[in-house]
């Protein structure tokens, strides 16, 4: 018990002193310390679309991986969609630094191990909840890309109908 108390006091003293180097070393060991709230995407599409997506931890580290949880109400029937992911630097939303596009259908959702509450194909006005784990091996690829980014995730049909659009600010350390 004495060793636990000593470690606890060292951690608290480091945080109270506000020395960035000590706090940063602690975050390297334990992950983000101060902000345990999840990151949140807000609806950037049709205001009538019910959308709730979060990720945790809020601050992505090279060793953290992430868990994405979300729910939305399907505005129409669909069995395939186009996923668009766009990434901007936080201070420059004019030119994207990264854009990714992928066809998602029932088979690819299964291959990606997306945990869904509804079976594909999806029917109109159904609440769909999902969980997806971003592996540590993927977040390790972010080495050298520390900073704040605006991320937009959008699903559209082949005819251009928007299914959902979510946008959030992601911090990578």
From first to last of the 173 residues of the chain, give the pLDDT tens digit.
443 333 333 433 333 334 444 444 445 555 545 457 899 999 999 888 888 999 999 998 878 888 999 999 988 888 889 999 999 988 887 888 889 999 988 888 877 777 888 888 889 998 989 888 888 887 777 778 888 999 999 999 888 889 999 999 999 88
In angstroms, rounded to a whole number, what is the distance separating the alpha carbons of residues 116 and 138?
21
Listed in sequence order, the DSSP H helices in 20-71 are: 20-30
Q: Give the orientation angle of helix 2-17 with respect to helix 20-30, to 10 degrees.
A: 130
Question: Token pair for residue 40?
Answer: 């949140």
- pLDDT at 35 (0 to 100): 58
Domain boundaries, the chain: 1-30, 36-172
Which of 73, 163, 156, 79 lies closest to 119 in space, CA to CA?
A: 79
In angstroms, rounded to a whole number, what is the distance separating the alpha carbons of residues 113 and 124?
23
Contact criterion met (CB below 8 Å) for 8 and 16: no
The pTM score is 0.73
Question: Token pair for residue 47?
Answer: 């205001």
* Domain 36-172 of CATH type 2.60.40.770: yes
- pLDDT at 43 (0 to 100): 94
Contact criterion met (CB below 8 Å) for 152 and 44: yes
- pLDDT at 7 (0 to 100): 38
């Amino acid at each position: 018990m004495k060793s636990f108390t000593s470690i606890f006091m060292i951690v608290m003293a480091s945080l109270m002193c506000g020395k960035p180097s000590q706090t940063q070393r602690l975050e390297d060991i334990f992950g983000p310390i101060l902000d345990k709230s999840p990151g949140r995407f807000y609806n950037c599409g049709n205001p009538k679309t019910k959308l709730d997506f979060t990720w945790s931890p809020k601050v992505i580290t090279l060793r953290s991986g992430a868990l994405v949880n979300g729910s939305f109400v399907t505005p129409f029937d669909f069995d395939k969609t186009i996923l668009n992911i766009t990434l901007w630097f936080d201070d420059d939303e004019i030119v994207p630094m990264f854009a990714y596009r992928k066809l998602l259908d029932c088979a690819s959702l299964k291959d990606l191990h997306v945990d869904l509450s509804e079976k594909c194909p999806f029917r109109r006005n159904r609440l769909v909840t999902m969980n997806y784990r971003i592996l540590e091996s993927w977040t390790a690829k972010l080495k050298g890309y520390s900073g704040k980014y605006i991320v937009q995730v959008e699903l559209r049909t082949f005819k251009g109908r928007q299914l959902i659009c979510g946008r959030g600010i992601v911090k990578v350390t």
